[in-house]
Structure 1
Amino acid sequence: MVEVKNLTMRFGKQVLFEDINLSLDKGNRYGLIGANGAGKSTFLKILSGEIEPSSGDVLIDSGLKVGVLGQDQMAFENLTLKDAVLYGNKRLYDAVKEKEKLYMSEEFTDEINERLGELEIITAEEDPTYEYETRCEKILSSLGLNDYDKLMSEIEMSEKFKVLLAQVLFPRPDVLFLDEPTNNLDIEAISWLENELNHHDGTLVVISHDRHFLNRVCTHILDVDFKKIREFSGNYDEWFIAANLVARQMQMEREKNLKEKEELEKFIARFSANASKAKQATSRQKRLEKLDTSELMTSSRREPSILFRLGRDIGNEILELNEISKKFDDEVVFENFNFKLEKGDKVAVVGRNGVGKTTLCKIIVGELEPDKGSVHIGATIEPGYFPQDTNNRIKGDLKLYEYLQDNKNKDLDEIRKCLGRMLFSGAEQEKAVGNLSGGEKHRVMLSKLMLTKPNLLVLDEPNNHLDLEAIIALGEALYKYEGSVICVSHDRELIDAFANRILHIKGDGKIVDFRGSFEEYRASLGEEN
């Protein structure tokens, strides 16, 4: 369905990838993975025709409908949510809107009747079952958007992204290109999307940092690394095993060649002047010239070293919420909520968007007062907070190490080492924090938590903007952490890595407090993992 021939992409002297040849077939769902900056989004934009490669071609079979997840969240401000979704099929949208306008005419002329007939044919061609309105509403509802006639200008940015996702899925395109479709989706919506994509019978290429999503959806992996894009059959976990096996084989082959090289050089040096051995020495010299002992190419993947230490031992009294109630306008978030955090608890806070997960975090750390009730934090507890709006909070002209310096953390050498563990090289540490990307700001905030050594971590979606390697490292760090954790996340793999208690906020004051893993919680509900 999609052919990639001799594709190369350069930005100045930097080569992202070169001489790429791929055949992306019908029925296959490709996960496009790689380190941040490796070229994933660039490759997807080349596939969709948004940008031109330096050389090479992308060929898509004629007659196929191509769907690309939009990134301009402000593009449909004057449309209702339902109309913005319908716009995903522009021909159908134009026909429907023109019909609506003509039916408002004061008189029906022959020309109008004739035009209405033509529009009816277009509508039937694009939507033979006349279910477009129901389908628009069904997709929006599945994404947690139920006010279909609300204007796009009246909803939050995260919800606008959901509408763009609904828009690209609505026309059921033959070829789907999706860049981070799980952004801003809660676990329920991600599960729905997994199911939708698993029923897509065309070609799918998707970028995601959600390992569970990649495992559930993908039949193949496209790995952007070493200036190449290599195809693997299987999901993310199967790629991980195969890629590590290939890397080990390459390393073993190089070590074998280095050993042979050493032996050949010794023989040549010893016998090249010996007439009786000259022929053998010449033969070995030719063999030596053919040996590949070049350094293995360096992967663009880099794994941060995340380690949360305790600055103070944690006591038996950690955190207790007593009869907490909170409303926003007439919406009940918490009502007489009681919660006690025990020693060793690592809590994952889950629930659909907008039910109060961030509100809970802010009440715990004192950024928001409950309408009634009290918050008691133990005398030995020193909390560390990772806010959801980290990107907005980290700003200004301070250099990275200057931003992390405070009365408690004065040791510049220790700060620089910590930044190095979070993949900021010496030169990168000179950047102004306000100029960092979203992922870089999140790594700075994690650096701050490592330096301050809290014994209670309150984390609100810390995995946002992190790549797969960083999310895996974060999960391992939370698992090994000796303190207590309260973490909001929609990333199933991250939750599975550390959580031994689940707090499911359902809305309208309803909360489920489950002791056990997320897998066990879903099993208790009769849900598949």
Structure 2
Amino acid sequence: MIAINDLTFLIGSRALYEDANWHIKPGEKIGLIGANGTGKSTLLKIIVGEYAPSLGTISMAKDLKIGYLNQDLLSYDSHHSILHVAMEAFERQNQLHDEIEILLKKIETDYSEEILNKLSDKQQEFEALDGYSIEYRANEILAGLGFSTEDQHRPLNTFSGGWRMRVMLAKILLQTPDILLLDEPTNHMDLPSIKWLEAYLNGFDGAIVIVSHDRYFLDKIVNRIVESRKGKLTIYSGNYSFYLEEKALRGEIQKGEFKNQQAKIKQEERLIERFRAKASKAKMAQSRMKALDKMERVDDVDDDNPTVNFRFKFSKPSGRHVVRIEEAYKKYPAIDILENADGVIEKGDKIALIGANGKGKSTLLRIIAGTETFKGMCETGHNVTTTFFAQHQLESLHLDNSILEEMQSFAPKHSDTELRSILGCFLFTGDDVFKKIRVLSGGEKSRVALAKSLTTDSNFLILDEPTNHLDIQSVNILIQALQQYEGTFIAVSHDRYFLDNVANKIWFIEDKDINEYPGTYAEYEEWQAKREKAGETGGIKPAKVAKPKKEEPKPSEIEEKKKQLKKLNLQLQVLEDEIAEKEKAVKTLEADIAKEEIYSNPTKLKEVNERYNVAKESLGAVQLHWEQLAEEIMILEG
């Protein structure tokens, strides 16, 4: 499918890749991994032709259709609706649709055979390309990626960068390419959308190459791992978990080979040193020296998993109750977030706050941090000192400071040795600490901001998407840091591996209330799956302040409600029968339009088209009535 042979790519004098080889085969689902800066995104750009290799070749079939999602697409702007943008994927179908509309307009005055034949040909091609279902397919994929029906008619330029990226992903998926190249597709996605994407990619017939730092996501999808490291591409069969096991095994073998070779080299060096001064043995010594120089050296195994070797301290522990939320109300013009919500965070809680985007996770964090207005009460407990980490704090880094200077100004009580030790844990070693903030990548700035957050004298941390822009190594470091942290924290993240390894309690917003599951993320997932299977609607609630009991309805009110529900359900049944009849009529008219005796006769075609449009409008009106009635029934039943 795609063959990369002896690839070398230079950035200045530095070789990002050197004699790298990789063959992508049809149907393979590949995770392309490696630390930040090892050239993963660059490699995808080389494959699609945005960059040219310094040496080597990239070969592929001429008709290969590539779908490429990258972070540069965030800059795409349009005043069209996102449904329109997604449907731009159907280039030929859209072109045919416009041409058919023009021909139908012409046919009102021009009945020539030439126009009729053109219209017939266009309609046949449009039908062969499944043109009548393209809007349905676009609706389906946009809904899976978290867009409501109303959202789909909003202009693209009214959405934030993360949501725009989802639209571009929808457009790429609708193009049904032979191979998908996805660069961090889960960035800015909530958990429900990530799970939907997992299911979609598992059913995708073509090849997939995914650059991702989400190891759970990789485990669910890929059957091969390609590691970009030290300018080479190393291939492992299996998912990410298998890669870890296989790499550890290969590392043990390599370590043994390295030790054996080093012992042999030392032995040879001693022999050469012993005999090189003797004239009778000088020739033998020279021969051994040449053989030693030509020996292909085995590298020692580098430790790719640095450990956090310092403890986070705070001068005073908090009281038992860290935060109490009572009767909290928070509403935006378009959505209600919280209504009479209660929650308690106790000392030692490690809480993962999860849920779909738009449900109020970040809003709740800001309420807890005291930076969001709301109705109700949010009270911080005795001796609680708080640090709030959010992505916008990256903007508050002082660009002219070096990394070390930034840490010194934030944590003056720490010595330079302590600060350099902390920075070393976040992969800033040696002279790296003297780099200016302005030259750092997004991931490096995140690591600096996190290092600052974890040097504070705080016993309560609020973390909003701390894993964004972090590679797998950096996520592991953050996990170790939070596992050692003896205080309390609440974190929002879409990285399930991170959540499963740090949280002992799960919070989720449901029915405008704060709900709690007392366990790990993996246990919550298992519980939630059983809950959905059983069709339950309730959740396990946190300890709450007692609320006044709702007044029970009177028997007469209950009877009246039952009568009303019965009446509405009967009306709903009548509408459902009417919808079925009208759908049947629409399909009959669609079939008539496709008949030769109809589309070849302008008068009949015009008549059938008019009847078809009337039937569609009538069907739409009945469907709208059904939706209104169904909503009324749901309100009564609730």
Q: Structures share a fold, TM > 0.5?
A: yes
Query: What are the Cα deviations for residues 401-447 of structure 1, in whole angstroms up to 9, with x where unaligned?
Result: 33334475254614344333322345444444344321122111111
Secondary structure at the counterpart of residue 485 of structure 1: strand
Secondary structure at the counterpart of residue 454 of structure 2: helix
Query: Among residues 386, 389, 394, which one is paired with 2:392 in the alignment?
Result: 389
1:467 Cα deviation (Å)?
Answer: 0.4
Distance 1:446 1:308 in 2: 15
CA contact (8 A) 1:303 1:470 kept: no
1:85 alignment partner AA: A
Mean Cα deviation higher: 264-273 or 179-188: 264-273
Mean Cα deviation higher: 107-116 or 69-78: 107-116
Q: Which residue of 1 aligns with 2:23?
A: 23
**Count of residue correspondences:** 524
CA contact (8 A) 1:268 1:285 kept: yes
Task: Give 1:60-71 correspondences, 5 Å limit.
Answer: 60-70=60-70, 71=72
1:458 alignment partner AA: I
Greater share of residues in helix: 2
Q: Which residue of 1 aligns with 2:480?
A: 476
Mean Cα deviation higher: 75-84 or 290-299: 290-299
1:57 Cα deviation (Å)?
Answer: 2.2
Distance 1:362 1:345 in 2: 18
1:240 Cα deviation (Å)?
Answer: 1.6
Change (3 A) 1:102 1:481: farther
1:15 alignment partner AA: A
Secondary structure at the counterpart of residue 72 of structure 1: helix
1:225 alignment partner AA: R
Query: Among residues 352, 366, 380, which one is paired with 2:356 in the alignment?
Result: 352
1:174 Cα deviation (Å)?
Answer: 1.2
- Same amino acid, percent of matched pairs: 35
Q: Which residue of 2 aligns with 1:415?
A: 419
Query: What are the Cα deviations for residues 197-225 of structure 1, in whole angstroms up to 9, with x where unaligned?
Result: 11112111110010100111111011110
Query: Among residues 131, 134, 147, which one is paired with 1:132 in the alignment?
Result: 134
> Do structure 1's residue 523 and structure 2's residue 513 form an aligned pair?
no
Mean Cα deviation higher: 283-292 or 351-360: 283-292
Secondary structure at the counterpart of residue 172 of structure 1: coil
Q: Which residue of 1 aligns with 2:11?
A: 11
Distance 2:408 2:276 in 1: 64
Q: Which residue of 2 aligns with 1:495?
A: 499
CA contact (8 A) 2:90 2:134 kept: no
Mean Cα deviation higher: 174-183 or 13-22: 13-22
Runs (5+) with no aligned partner, structure 1: none
Secondary structure at the counterpart of residue 526 of structure 1: helix
Task: Give 1:348-497 correspondences, 5 Å limit.
Answer: 348-370=352-374, 372-394=375-397, 396-406=399-409, 409-411=412-414, 413=416, 414-425=418-429, 427-497=431-501
Task: Give 1:214-229 correspondences, 5 Å limit.
Answer: 214-229=218-233
Q: Which residue of 2 aligns with 1:256?
A: 260
Query: What are the Cα deviations for residues 107-134 of structure 1, in whole angstroms up to 9, with x where unaligned?
Result: 4535665544443344334337x32111
Distance 1:519 1:268 in 2: 60
The TM-score, its normalising length taken from structure 1, stands at: 0.91
2:392 alignment partner AA: D
> Do structure 1's residue 310 and structure 2's residue 313 form an aligned pair?
yes
> Do structure 1's residue 326 and structure 2's residue 330 form an aligned pair?
yes
Change (3 A) 1:464 1:103: farther
CA contact (8 A) 1:226 1:297 kept: no
1:100 Cα deviation (Å)?
Answer: 4.7
Secondary structure at the counterpart of residue 145 of structure 1: coil
Q: Which residue of 2 aligns with 1:90?
A: 91
Mean Cα deviation higher: 213-222 or 406-415: 406-415
Q: Which residue of 1 aligns with 2:578?
A: none
Runs (5+) with no aligned partner, structure 2: 533-638
Distance 1:462 1:99 in 2: 52
2:382 alignment partner AA: A
1:490 alignment partner AA: H
Change (3 A) 1:273 1:159: closer
Query: What are the Cα deviations for residues 315-352 of structure 1, in whole angstroms up to 9, with x where unaligned?
Result: 32211111111111252101111111122211100001
> Do structure 1's residue 247 and structure 2's residue 248 form an aligned pair?
no
Change (3 A) 1:302 1:514: closer
Change (3 A) 1:182 1:404: same
Query: Among residues 142, 145, 149, which one is paired with 1:143 in the alignment?
Result: 145
> Radius of gyration: which is bigger?
2
1:183 Cα deviation (Å)?
Answer: 0.8
Change (3 A) 1:403 1:114: farther
1:488 Cα deviation (Å)?
Answer: 0.2
CA contact (8 A) 1:33 1:221 kept: yes
CA contact (8 A) 2:7 2:57 kept: yes
1:479 Cα deviation (Å)?
Answer: 2.2
1:322 alignment partner AA: E
Secondary structure at the counterpart of residue 525 of structure 1: helix
1:238 Cα deviation (Å)?
Answer: 1.1
Distance 1:475 1:82 in 2: 39
1:77 alignment partner AA: S
Q: Which residue of 1 aligns with 2:618?
A: none
Change (3 A) 1:99 1:459: farther
Secondary structure at the counterpart of residue 321 of structure 2: coil
1:132 alignment partner AA: I
Secondary structure at the counterpart of residue 200 of structure 1: coil
Distance 1:296 1:322 in 2: 58
Secondary structure at the counterpart of residue 263 of structure 2: helix
Mean Cα deviation higher: 450-459 or 408-417: 408-417
The TM-score, its normalising length taken from structure 2, stands at: 0.76
Change (3 A) 1:154 1:222: same
Task: Give 1:188-207 correspondences, 5 Å limit.
Answer: 188-207=192-211
1:375 alignment partner AA: C
Change (3 A) 1:223 1:275: same
Q: Which residue of 1 aligns with 2:158?
A: 154
Mean Cα deviation higher: 234-243 or 455-464: 234-243
Mean Cα deviation higher: 250-259 or 183-192: 250-259
CA contact (8 A) 1:48 1:177 kept: no
Distance 1:291 1:59 in 2: 34
Q: Which residue of 1 aligns with 2:605?
A: none
Change (3 A) 1:433 1:262: closer
Query: What are the Cα deviations for residues 202-259 of structure 1, in whole angstroms up to 9, with x where unaligned?
Result: 1111100101001111110111102111111111111122223223322221211111
Secondary structure at the counterpart of residue 46 of structure 2: helix
Query: What are the Cα deviations for residues 293-319 of structure 1, in whole angstroms up to 9, with x where unaligned?
Result: 5654868x6747485613132332211
Secondary structure at the counterpart of residue 77 of structure 1: coil
Distance 1:307 1:192 in 2: 39
Secondary structure at the counterpart of residue 256 of structure 2: helix
Distance 2:278 2:309 in 1: 59
Distance 1:366 1:469 in 2: 32
Secondary structure at the counterpart of residue 375 of structure 1: strand
Q: Which residue of 1 aligns with 2:56?
A: 56
* Cα-Cα RMSD: 2.8
Change (3 A) 1:216 1:38: same
Distance 1:474 1:358 in 2: 20
Change (3 A) 1:217 1:285: same
Mean Cα deviation higher: 422-431 or 467-476: 422-431
Distance 1:328 1:317 in 2: 29
Change (3 A) 1:10 1:278: closer
Distance 1:308 1:270 in 2: 51
Q: Which residue of 1 aligns with 2:548?
A: none
1:290 Cα deviation (Å)?
Answer: 5.0
Change (3 A) 1:47 1:267: same
Change (3 A) 1:98 1:466: farther
